[in-house]
Amino acid sequence: MSRWSRFTLRSIVALMLALGCTTASAQSYPTKPIRLVVPYPAGGPLDIMARAIGQKLTEAWNQPVLIDNRAGAGGNIGADLVAKSAADGYTLLMGAVATHAINPTLYGKIPYDPVKDFTPVALVAQVPNILVVNPSVPARSVRELIELARERPGYLNYGSGSTGSTGHLAGELFKTMAGVQMVHIPYKGGAPAMADLLSGQVQLMFDNLANALPNVKAGRLRALAVTTLARAPAMPDLPTIAESGLPGFDLTTWFGVMVPAGTPPEIVTRLNAEIVRALNATDMRERLQKMGTEPPANNTPEHFAAFIRTEATKYAKVVKDSGARVD
């Protein structure tokens, strides 16, 4: 046997083995621990949901799901890590509105392609923000707030957790649509911004519902409206901004599981089915309810992909209009 034919034989054997492995891995997936990358520090709603889902997948598949917090650069570091990982279904990303809709425009250039480098698996949650004001602000509705901003230009400050966050962009969208002036006060995270809102240093904030709700209930903050198109199930009496004079106003903070592009479709399907099942479990429904939302309807990879595309287009415009830019 010549060297070449021996080589060919070996290659064929190797190829067959490799193919065998791939088929086997798709059928018996998962056969080893799975890593779920969270591109933010531990402790936020996204991290908490990632851990809860990880726990459910672990129970269902008897393979540990490890949460890997890779914070930094507005989520870009973690997202980039997954974009460049093996597409074998063992590295997942908890992607978010920031990493896949806001940052591409906000940062100008990012190290990954939010569309080409990822295959969306399932949306996990779409959390509404609510517009809350310090009780010292006389406005009791969105209309009154807009009037107030017109009468007293330069009076209103709105806080946010960071430049380019949904809280910031909601404020910018509000300013553009209502044609009013407010000053954006950015903080390092939502907590100090909330402290200054409670003390009246800043007058209003577009904060996520779960975070603001306790202080609304205690009367330390007044909720004026919710930023989503539909009312939030957790606060059915709270009007939307869209129905309060700014039709079409619609912003949510969302996050969902994604895998690197090229991951075998069978694995994507399996992951999607198990995550959707996890989200519909009683305890998970309760958790989502606390966050002001419910398990996303029609949660297929295709829907999620389409949703991301719509969101990216929407935020590209909002970010550009706001003039925010990070280079």
Partner 1 sequence: MEFDLIHNLGIGFGVALSWQNLMYCFFGVVLGTLIGVLPGIGPVATIAMLLPVTFNLSPISALIMLAGIYYGAQYGGSTTAILVNIPGESSSVITCLDGYAMARQGRAGPALAIAAIGSFFAGCVATVVIALFAPPLAEVALKFGPAEYFSLMILGLVGATVLAHGSLVKAIAMTLLGLLLGLIGTDVNSGIARFSFGLPELSDGIGFVIVAMGVFGFAEIITNLEQGESRDVFVNKVTGLMPTWKDLKDSSGAILRGTALGSMLGILPGGGALLSSFAAYTLEKKIGDTSMFGKGEIRGVAAPESANNAGAQTSFIPLLTLGIPSNPVMALMIGAMMIQGIAPGPQVMTERPELFWGMIASMWIGNLMLVILNLPLIGIWVKLLTVPYRLLYPSILLFCCVGVYSLSNAPFDVMLTAVFGLLGYIFVKLECEPAPLILGFILGPLMEENLRRAMLLSRGDATVFFTKPISGVLLGMAIVLLLITLAPTVRKTREVAFQE
Q: Which of 20, 33, 72, 247 binds partner 1 (CB under 8 A)?
A: 72
The residues near 76 (Cβ < 8 Å, ≥ 6 apart) are: 39, 99, 103, 107, 110, 111, 112
Are 221 and 198 spatial neighbours (Cβ–Cβ below 8 Å)? Answer: yes
Are 139 and 149 spatial neighbours (Cβ–Cβ below 8 Å)? Answer: no
Q: Which of 215, 250, 273, 274 binds partner 1 (CB under 8 A)?
A: 215
Per-residue tokens: 104 = 């591409």
Q: Which of 110, 267 has the CB closer to partner 1?
A: 110
Contact status: 274 vs partner 1 (CB under 8 A): no
Q: Which of 85, 186, 305, 321 binds partner 1 (CB under 8 A)?
A: 186
Of residues 232-271, those binding partner 1 (CB under 8 A) = none
Contact status: 114 vs partner 1 (CB under 8 A): no
Contact status: 117 vs partner 1 (CB under 8 A): no
- The window from 3-11, 62-70, 115-123, 272-280 that contacts partner 1 (CB under 8 A) reads 62-70
CA–CA dist 275, 290 (Å, integer): 19
- Pure H helices in the chain: 3-28, 45-61, 76-83, 97, 103-106, 142-151, 166-178, 190-198, 209-217, 265-279, 282-290, 301-322
Q: What are the beta bridge partners of residue 95?
A: 256
Q: Which of 168, 270 has the CB closer to partner 1?
A: 168
Q: Which of 135, 247 has the CB closer to partner 1?
A: 135
Contact status: 194 vs partner 1 (CB under 8 A): yes
Least spacing, CB of residue 67 vs partner 1, in Å: 8
3-state secondary structure of 72: coil
The residues near 27 (Cβ < 8 Å, ≥ 6 apart) are: 266
Contact status: 136 vs partner 1 (CB under 8 A): no
Contact status: 290 vs partner 1 (CB under 8 A): yes
- The window from 11-19, 70-78, 138-146, 251-259 that contacts partner 1 (CB under 8 A) reads 70-78
Least spacing, CB of residue 258 vs partner 1, in Å: 19
CA–CA dist 190, 192 (Å, integer): 6
CA–CA dist 8, 4 (Å, integer): 6
Pick the closest to residue 138 from 224, 214, 205, 198 (CA basis): 224
Contact status: 60 vs partner 1 (CB under 8 A): no
Least spacing, CB of residue 96 vs partner 1, in Å: 16
Q: Going by DSSP bridges, is the β-strand pair 118-133/183-186 parallel, antiparallel, or unpaired?
A: unpaired
Stretch 148-177: interaction string toward partner 1, x if CB under 8 A: ------x--x----xxx-------------
Q: Which of 57, 127, 131, 213 binds partner 1 (CB under 8 A)?
A: 213
Contact status: 295 vs partner 1 (CB under 8 A): no
Are 194 and 177 spatial neighbours (Cβ–Cβ below 8 Å)? Answer: no
Q: Which of 92, 156, 210, 259 binds partner 1 (CB under 8 A)?
A: 210
Of residues 37-56, those binding partner 1 (CB under 8 A) = 41-45, 47-48, 51-52, 54-55
CA–CA dist 315, 111 (Å, integer): 19
Count of helix runs (H) and strand runs (E) in the chain = 12, 9
Q: Given the structure tokens 């709105």, which residue do they identify?
A: 158
Contact status: 187 vs partner 1 (CB under 8 A): yes
- Applying CB under 8 A, the residues found at the interface with partner 1 are 41-45, 47-48, 51-52, 54-55, 67-73, 76-77, 80, 106, 111, 154, 157, 162-164, 183, 185-188, 191-192, 194-196, 198-199, 201-202, 210-211, 213-215, 217-218, 220, 286-287, 290, 324-327
